[in-house]
Amino acid sequence: MAEKPAESSDILVSTPRDGVLLITLNRPKVLNALRSKLIGEVRAELERAAEDEAVRAVVVTGNERAFAAGADITEMKDKSAVEVLTDTRLAAWQAIGGFPKPIIAAVNGYCLGGGCELAMSMDIIVAGEDARFGQPEINLGIIPGAGGTQRLSRNVGKSLAMKMVLSGEMMRARDALAAGLIAEVVPPELTVERALELAALIATKPPIAVRLAKASVAQSYELPLQQALDYERKAFALCFATEDRLEGVSAFIEKRKPSFKGR
């Protein structure tokens, strides 16, 4: 997929193809350490993508050595507690987690600290066999600050989350798959290709139903069960107000491929 640099070189952004936008984190010399500028650029690009009808799904990747080795430690070095508390990156992370369209992390190499948190804030993680996930913040005298203690324990359970957060030990892709942290493991050279393929498949689905399905699954991590089931039931009912629902059902009955319009 052809890529052009965005306004700044911390990320590369593709032209959407098959409804899929590819964002590549691009600080290879420092293993894609997530300085504020980079996170801000990802956020801005996702804000554009949310408005762009040509984008129906997004893939975010790094390079073969790292998805991202965490927050930029040099940038964090001299921060005061107040500066950290008011750090706009935390809001940016939340904004990325709230992106309304499907977003897939294609992970090779190190996926650590804020990098692991960034990947976990996305919908699906596809990883290369060489990927390594971890929350090594404890080695720096800090703890995860962008969801690592919360999303990780929801994703892999208490015991494993505690082990990772307290020991800082990394987890290999196969173990991350067994633990439910990620959706698929593939040979490293196929990670981006597979993520793009999956995103392109999702991009063929009815966009409003996709959006509601994503929001409903996301609610399962937010709400008590009865409220989440109620949310799901209403979102399900809302699908019946769409033209795409009529198209999907008609196409099935007429034994043809549906053509979804996002209406």
The answer to the question of residue 136 lying near ligand HXC (CB under 6 A) is yes
Q: How far is the CB of 75 from ligand HXC (least distance, A)?
A: 8
Q: Which residues are designated catalytic? A: 71, 114, 117, 137
Backbone angles phi, psi at 34, to 5 degrees: -90, 80
The answer to the question of residue 71 lying near ligand HXC (CB under 6 A) is yes
Q: Which of 41, 72, 123, 244: binder of ligand HXC (CB under 6 A)?
A: 72
At residue 75, what is the residue type?
E
For ligand HXC, the closer CB: 116 or 198: 116
The answer to the question of residue 145 lying near ligand HXC (CB under 6 A) is yes
3-state secondary structure 106-138: EECCEEECHHHHHHHCCCEEEEECCCEEECHHH
Q: How many C-alpha atoms does 114 have within 13 Å on its Cβ side? A: 22
Residue among 74, 73, 10 at smallest CA distance from 39: 10
* Site map 73..92 versus ligand HXC, x via CB under 6 A: xx--------------xx--
* Site map 25..44 versus ligand HXC, x via CB under 6 A: -----xx-x-----------
Cβ-contact 112, 134 below 8 angstroms = yes
Q: How many C-alpha atoms does 184 have within 13 Å on its Cβ side? A: 17
Q: How far is the CB of 85 from ligand HXC (least distance, A)?
A: 11
The answer to the question of residue 96 lying near ligand HXC (CB under 6 A) is no
Q: How far is the CB of 173 from ligand HXC (least distance, A)?
A: 15
Neighbour tally for 189: CB within 10 Å: 10
Q: Which of 38, 60, 104, 112: binder of ligand HXC (CB under 6 A)?
A: 112
Handedness of CA 162, 165, 169, 171 (dihedral sign): positive
Give the binding range for ligand HXC (CB under 6 A) out of 105-113, 178-186, 204-212, 247-255. 105-113
The answer to the question of residue 165 lying near ligand HXC (CB under 6 A) is no
For ligand HXC, the closer CB: 69 or 96: 69
Strand duo 132-134 + 171-172: pairing? antiparallel
Interaction residues for ligand HXC, span 226-245 (CB under 6 A): none
Alpha-carbon distances of 203 from 84, 101, 151, 207, 246, rounded to whole Å: 37, 10, 26, 7, 18
Binding site for ligand HXC (CB under 6 A): 30-31, 33, 69-74, 89-90, 110, 112-114, 136-137, 140, 145-146
